[in-house]
């Protein structure tokens, strides 16, 4: 199953299965030092970031590759919601001549197939960027048991991609989300949109269910404050 389908399949119930995403989205906006008027958001989802913005904006462009997520995003005369895969050259070409006060992205860019390419273009369209990404240490114990590598970018790769074109400040945080039982825990993995393209066969899934003895899931995220070098 593709990353896109993981997000789209559960779009209508996503807000009840994205607790960590909501926490980091709120933190991302809360830590802003100014009130930008022109904003570009990558991976807008159903509007978690936009709903945290308490000031008036002149223009807000929200991008997501899931059409069902785009349908759920708030609409308005100063909001433009576009369904794009941010990894495509066509999307990067569409913004290269635009200018924004700030680029925002929460819980999305870790899926990029070429994060360095994206950050290069973003450094040219905005002088500042704030982002939060899951790292490959998310679900680390599950990876250890299943012996399957994470599909998510590592902390080192994320830092490398941003630092190539921005002056950056990084903060990495480990969240632990507790559950009452294993069924709730494994349901959350399936419906949270963090599991990505990685899938387990029945035998491995059974082994994981048997051997995973924690009552919580691990989520490692990295907060990025980025300032253009140019």
Enumerate domains of the chain plus CATH numbers: 3-137+150-176+218-228 (3.40.50.150)
Query: Does residue 25 have a pLDDT over 70?
Result: yes
- Per-residue model confidence as pLDDT tens digits over 57-66: 999 999 999 9
List 132's β-bridge partners, or say none.
106, 223
pLDDT of residue 204: 81
User: What value does the mean pLDDT of the chain take?
Assistant: 89
Mean pLDDT of 136-156: 92
pTM of the predicted structure, to 2 decimals: 0.89
Do 146 and 135 meet the contact criterion of CB atoms below 8 Å apart? no
Query: Does residue 197 have a pLDDT over 50?
Result: no
Mean pLDDT of 133-162: 94
- The larger pLDDT score, comparing residue 204 to residue 17, is at 204
pLDDT of residue 1: 40
Instruction: Name residue, tokens 């807008």.
Output: 44
Closest by alpha carbon to 108, among 152, 150, 147, 55?
152
d(CA 191, CA 198): 13
Cβ of 1: how many Cβ atoms within 10 Å? 11
């Amino acid at each position: 199953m593709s990353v896109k389908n993981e997000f789209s399949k559960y779009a209508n119930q996503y807000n009840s299965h994205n607790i960590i995403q909501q926490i980091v989205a709120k933190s991302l906006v809360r830590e802003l030092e100014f009130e930008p008027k022109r904003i570009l958001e990558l991976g807008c989802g159903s509007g978690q970031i936009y709903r945290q913005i308490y000031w008036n904006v002149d223009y807000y462009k929200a991008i997501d590759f899931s059409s069902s997520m785009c349908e759920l995003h708030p609409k308005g005369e100063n909001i433009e919601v576009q369904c794009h895969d941010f990894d495509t050259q066509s999307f990067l070409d569409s913004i290269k001549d635009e200018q924004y006060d700030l680029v925002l992205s929460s819980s999305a860019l870790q899926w990029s197939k070429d994060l360095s390419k994206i950050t290069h273009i973003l450094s040219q369209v905005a002088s500042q960027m704030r982002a939060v990404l899951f790292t490959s240490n998310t679900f680390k114990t599950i990876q250890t048991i299943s012996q399957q590598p994470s599909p998510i970018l590592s902390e080192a790769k994320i830092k490398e991609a941003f630092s190539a074109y921005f002056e950056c400040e990084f903060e990495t945080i480990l969240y632990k989300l507790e559950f009452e039982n294993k069924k709730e825990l494994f349901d959350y993995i399936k419906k949270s949109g963090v599991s990505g393209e990685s899938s387990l066969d029945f035998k491995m899934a059974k082994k994981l269910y048997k051997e995973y003895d924690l009552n919580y899931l691990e989520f490692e995220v990295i907060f990025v404050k980025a300032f253009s070098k140019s």
